[in-house]
A and B are shown apart, each in its own frame.
Chain A
Amino acid sequence: LPAGGVSLRLCSTRVASEGVNKPVIDRIIRVDHAGEYGANRIYAGQMAVLGRSSAGPVIQQMWNQEKDHLKKFNELMVAYRVRPTVLLPFWNVAGFVLGAGSALLGKRGAMACTVAVEESISDHYNSQIRTLMEEDPEKYKELLQIIKQFRDDEREHHDIGLEHDAEAAPAYSVLKTAIQLGCKAAIFLSERI
């Protein structure tokens, strides 16, 4: 008896642009966009609490850099026609709450949060760089350059956080572990949903 379900390629009418590995690029851009968006909200929360304190200018400067990152990913998202994660409204609130909450623990708490998040993000960017290098460094040259630059910026934020006594924050290691676990979960979800 003939088996009915022949799988004709009927699903997508969209042509892949210049042989780009769409699923991989989709995930990368979606999760990075979500990450920068979340980072923006975290700094916004921190500024809401510590804006007028001595840490204000430092946080503001890091926030400005994150705004630039987000702008870049907005452009990439449109260029590659990538869908944003459906969890954006959630990251909006969660990011702000995390930023404000950590800032309420004081300047050191905010810096500890920064250290934790920036470490997660730079590790995550590193693994993306590895993935793209394995795929085809030439084809993804522009994207690789951008991610490398951003990874360096996040690393710098991480170091700034350490310079500003992040490790002296109350319950530093617990805080750091908890925040990094949250980041891992956020990354996992944003890649897929």
Chain B
Amino acid sequence: VRCQLSPPRRPFQASAVLRRVSDEEKKEPLASSSQQQFDSHPADHQPEQGPQGPRPSYTGQGGQESEDYESEEQLQHRILTAALEFVPEHGWSAEAIAEGAKTLGLSVAAAGMFHSDGSELILHFVSQCNTKLSELLEQEQKLVQLGEAEKKPTDQFLRDAVEVRLRMLIPYIEKWPQALSILLLPHNIPSSLNLLTSMIDDIWHYAGDQSTDFNWYTRRAVLTGIYNTTELVMMQDSSPDFEETWRFLENRVADAMNMGNTANQVQSTGEAVVQGLMGAAVTVSNAETSRAVR
């Protein structure tokens, strides 16, 4: 029996505990069990089985991979995706992740790979939603480019994008306040902020924003404010199909559009006033000069 532990990718990684002893065997096709030199544990033809004995490693070694090769990261994503279905019942927690792992045929100990407060589950969900939103916006853009759809005015585009994105929360709305508070924990803030800013940037990009001055920041700050406040309103909305929330959203977007117009008006009024004063000054100085000449 060869007892070679492949070096863990990261030290103290929990999954090292879950690794099968003779990792080399993974390279050979799993069908030919007679060739394998397993230790005394029951021969596992599939990489994943019930909670018996150590789990096989998926990190691979020496570049040789069987067809079932899957990186640790991919496995983690699969577990988290499976766990989402249990969130309405168990909340964003290690229990949900454990249930998710079970549906994939893994041991509940797989939940030990993650933080006990469910942070990664929430971040995974947010990231998934953002990706879905980007794909939808990309498709919409293609339709407009092909001439099969009308280009929406900016305010409607923003309203629709935010609504689509917030609707993704509906299945998990009961537990979402919990998720928001976890996302605000100091160790999660860099990731959650990053996800938020890239989503807002995506929305503006597809809305056709081409600003290269300070407007770039103003627009994103305004949209972030609209998104966050609408999300909070949604948490407390009990109207049918969240009508109140969408109405709130419509009003905030309209406010934002007005703000832009008002800023322009203030600027042009200011310029007009300055020109008026300059004209007055020139007139007075001319009058003085002509008086002096007489």
Contact = CB atoms under 8 A, between A and B. Distances in A.
Interface residues of B, number: 37
Contacts of B73: 8-9
A10 B123 contact: yes
A12 B212 contact: no
Contacts of B210: 78
A13 interface: yes
Contacts of B134: 13-14
Interface string A62-104: 0000000000011001100101101011000000000000000
Interface in A1-60: 2-6, 8-14, 33
B251 interface: no
Interface of B: 10, 12-14, 17, 73, 76-77, 80, 112-116, 120, 123-124, 126-127, 130-131, 134, 187, 191, 194-195, 198-199, 201-202, 205, 210, 212-214, 216-217
Given A8-B123, A9-B73, A3 B12 contact: yes
Given A11-B194, A13-B198, A33-B212, A6 B124 contact: no
Contacts of B213: 84, 88
Of A2, A3, A5, A89, the most chain B CB neighbours within 10 A belong to: A2
B258 to A, nearest CB: 23
A115 B288 CA distance: 44
Contacts of A83: 216
B109 to A, nearest CB: 9
Given A3-B13, A6-B114, A81-B205, A13 B130 contact: yes
A8 B124 contact: yes
B14 A10 contact: no
